[in-house]
Amino acid sequence: MKRNNYLKKGLTIFLIITIAMWVNTSLGVKVQAMSIPHAMPINQIFPDYNLANVVKRHLGKQSVTDVVAQRELDKVQILNGNGCNISSMEGVQYFRHLKQLSMSYNQISDVKVLTSLRQLELLILEHNKLENIDILVDIPTLEGLYVGNNALRDLWALEAMGNLKYIDAAEQKCINKPVEYQPNLVITNTIKDMIGKPIIPNFISDNGTYINTDVTWDLPNPNFITEVSYSFEEVQNIGKEQVLFSGVVIQPIKPQSPAIENTGNINRVFPESSFVEVLKKSLRKNNGMNVGPQNELDKAIEFHDENRGNVMFIQLKKSLFM
């Protein structure tokens, strides 16, 4: 009996030690700071030319080719790169003691390089091209986050960031991929609240309507419409804060591709003479014959031009006949 108790106690102690070692190892990997391997030119650490210039000025260097060491980067606690046309923040991860970072009015679309900054408290990224900030949940030290005027469609990840005290997420501008004109245009609402439920639009352009999760427009005239849109606005509870999440979703509209409904002379439909001869052979038409309606062209898969030494294959798409 005593032997069994000793075995149980020994096994318990072993499990506790094993779990503790695993937790420590995991945390150590998670919070490990990034560092450059050796002293390097600024423009090699920061490949974005405009960001390299910002760092050059901040460190008091003469050129972006000047060499800097990790100890110089470790002295930086505040960095301001507002309005410098920066597209990439690559290299910022090496500012291991950075507390405040301001990169507003730039072209930034990716924030993943920031997740190793274990002391970052204030992040200002207004007026950029951010579509997703979920990865910021890996920066538990953040207290202030300013991401207004980007292209965010939800803020759900911020709910897990317990230290956040100041958040700005207003005036998002989300642009969908263009769609071809349709008299009855229907798109799905992609703006979500903190539990993943679509936020009901507070305004829809061009007399659009909202049913279930779809936004619908009746567009009788294709000649005067290039885009439609809907706006949203909702106060969301994030931690102890109430945050205004607002913006607009824009749906660009392309002109409808014209179809060749009636027959027409090949020379008129395709005025390029060399292409006409190839087309006649491929469609098995004689001189002066008409090309059929659109569905006849749609059946064509390839053309053969044997007058150029090699056989030329052209994949035929309707867009070629616009």
Domain residue ranges of the chain, discontinuous segments joined by +:
264-321
Tens digit of each residue's pLDDT (9 = 90 or more) over 107-123? 999 999 999 999 999 99
- What is the pairing mode between strands 144-146 and 166-175? parallel
Higher pLDDT, 291 or 194: 194
Long-range contacts of 220-223 (CB under 8 A, 24+ apart): 220/183, 222/181, 222/183, 222/255, 222/256
Core vs surface per residue 231-265: b (16+ CB within 10 A) or e: ebbeebebeeeebebbbbbebebeeeeeebeeeee
For the cut 70, the answer to whether the pLDDT of residue 307 exceeds it is: no
For the cut 60, the answer to whether the pLDDT of residue 27 exceeds it is: no
Note the pLDDT of residue 259.
60
The model's confidence at residue 212, banded by pLDDT at 50, 70 and 90, is: very high
What percent of the chain stands above pLDDT 90?
A: 63
Higher pLDDT, 237 or 51: 51
Nearest alpha-carbon partner for 248 in 210, 213, 204, 209: 204
Mean pLDDT of the chain: 82
The model's confidence at residue 92, banded by pLDDT at 50, 70 and 90, is: very high
Tens digit of each residue's pLDDT (9 = 90 or more) over 156-178? 989 889 889 999 999 999 999 99
Which of left, alpha, beta for 288 (phi over 0: left; psi -120 to 50: alpha)? left
Note the pLDDT of residue 222.
80
Rg of the Cα trace of the chain? 30
